[in-house]
Every structure is written in structure tokens, then in C-alpha cells.
Structure 1
């Protein structure tokens, strides 16, 4: 029996603030990265989602679309191989009860936030690395293939993720850190060479 496919480590979260930078970010994401489509307030959300879906398919990215009310993600057909069991592919969490609920609902990956200060939620109380790790232990996320993965969100970057791995994070998501690559000229290290199939 084939095992569950590993979810991406790096996730771009879309936001109305990105403007045209969204398309540059999608072009620069390494193949196999994830994209969480939000743009909750966009009047043309459905049309924009179709364009993002086409870009993700062309670039080999895993795309999920967040629901504004529930912060759960619509599951694209091709994403079934990632799931622990029927239910949401990913979920949003801000504490231990949210993590437990996400696991109970069958999510394969929950994004716990905000880890560090972030422009999208100025002034919000942050978790920090130590509290993040404690929450993961308290939530009892399971073992092996049945374990729900947890991603770090809020003020994240590739460097910050290296630190968060030590406390149990298996993925990271960002808006600004992955949207500003086109202005800094930087490309993620894993994107320096084309991935071999």
C-alpha cells in the first residue's frame, strides 16, 4: 500500500495587499510548494482563483482555497493523496483547542499562528517558538502516518523556519516573505536548480 504523499514545506498565502507581486511570487516558488488562496474581499475572487489555479498547475504547485468563514480549505481533486482521512486538507489554528479540532476533522496540516510579529495582524499577541512547541505537545497530534503536521505562520521566513523545525513545525507559510522575492532578487535556496523528476 502506498504511503501518504508528503505535503509541501513552503506555502505562499495570497492577500489583496500583494497586487501584481502575487504573480511574480507564483513564478518564483519552487516546484512542489503550496499556495493558500485567500483574497477574501476581492470582488472578482472566483475569476482570480481560476487564474491562480492555472498558474499553480503550470508551475507544479499545490493549491488550496480558504473559506472566509471557516478558515478551512476546499480540497482540489488532486490533493486527496495528501490527506490523513476524509476531511479538510489544511486548517487554521490559534491555540490548542483549534489544533485538536483540526486533527479530529482529519486535516493533514494545520497552520498555527501568529508565531512572530506580522504586518497582516499588527499588534497581535505572538506565540513565539517555545509556546508553539508546547502547544504541539499538548494537542497530542498522533504518531507516524496518522500524525497531523503543523505549519508555522506569522512573521515567517526560510531562516525562521529553520528555527521552528526544532520545536516541531513541519511547514511554514508567509505572505510578505514570499511576495517580495521579486524586489530583492532573492530566490529560495531549493529553487536554485531545477528539481529532478
Structure 2
């Protein structure tokens, strides 16, 4: 999964165009004035390349751009059920920074959680890293679909093999 960020991913279209089939993109527009136009370009790339496109924290933007669903920050994860009822075919994921938050998101109706930060990260919202061993324990103990986010790179991703994590997520300028 690729999480876009206007500052760290200034060209999300180029980044999405390099992802393998089946990968996901969480388009985080953060209120950008060109959010719909850029989101529609990303949606076209996603359809052409077989990617899953989620809009970050904005079900209305997801609807307007034809996204496959929405990704909710932890503070909005309780809305997963309402989103699911409004859009039964959508994929709904939620951020979680620990097992209790992951369980709350899943109980609220999220399909999967994105656990973070796994490794030290430059993200302004990153807290203390979970680490690969604790991440593995959380995923195995919770028995839920999870993605790892935060400090994930080519080097650190290898440390997650065998943890039971469904996939990896990154915020990066891939272009």
C-alpha cells in the first residue's frame, strides 16, 4: 500500500503508475484544491493497473473520484460501520496504533487495520515504534488482517517476513 502525502509524494500519479498489480493506494488529499481532479487521475491509473484506491478520511471524496473505498484515521475509525452501511461494496480500512485500537476499528466495521508506526518514522504523527516482534504478537493475538506502516522501506520490510502481516504500507516519494 502506498499512502500519499502532498509534501512527501508530490507526484502520486507517477508513484501509483509504478506499483504492482493488486497494490493499494491511499490518496490523502488533506483538503487540496485539486483533490477531485488528482483523485480522478489516480482512479484512472488504479483501474488501468489493477490497483485498489482508497480515499483518506473522506468518504465524499472517495465517492466523487470513484475510489474503491476509504481509509479512516484512528480518531474516525468508529465511523467504519456508517461508511459500510452507506457504501456496502466499499473497502474500509482504519489506522490503529495498538491492539485495543485495532479491535475497536474492526468491531466498528473496518475490513483491515493499518498498524503504525512499526519502525522509526519521519512522519510528524509517528509515535513510539511498535517494532516487528510486537507487531507480530499483535497480529497473531488479534487474528485480523493488518498492514504495517511507518518506517517501512526496502531494508526494513525484510524484518517483517513471517510476522503474519497481510502487507506493507509506505509513505514515500517513489517517483
Q: TM-score range by the shorter chain?
A: 0.7 to 0.9
- 8 Å Cα contact 2:72/2:93 also seen in 1: no
- Give the drift of 1:60: 1.4
Relative contact order (C-alpha < 8 Å, sep 6+): which is higher? 1
- 8 Å Cα contact 1:161/1:171 also seen in 2: no
Counterpart for residue 102 of structure 2: 99
The TM-score, its normalising length taken from structure 2, stands at: 0.74
The TM-score, its normalising length taken from structure 1, stands at: 0.67
Q: Deviations over 1:170-193 (max 9, x none)?
A: 1111111xx33x4xxxxxxxxxxx
- Give the drift of 1:47: 2.4
Counterpart for residue 111 of structure 1: 114
Partner SS, residue 26 of structure 1: helix
User: 2: CA distance between counterparts of 1:123 and 1:114?
Assistant: 6
- 8 Å Cα contact 1:152/1:161 also seen in 2: no
Mind listing any 5+ residue stretches in structure 1 that lack a counterpart?
1-10, 142-147, 183-197
Mind listing any 5+ residue stretches in structure 2 that lack a counterpart?
59-70
Counterpart for residue 49 of structure 2: 59
User: 1: CA distance between counterparts of 2:116 and 2:146?
Assistant: 10
Root mean square deviation of aligned Cα: 2.7
Of structures 1 and 2, the larger Rg is shown by: 1
Residues matched between the structures, number: 153
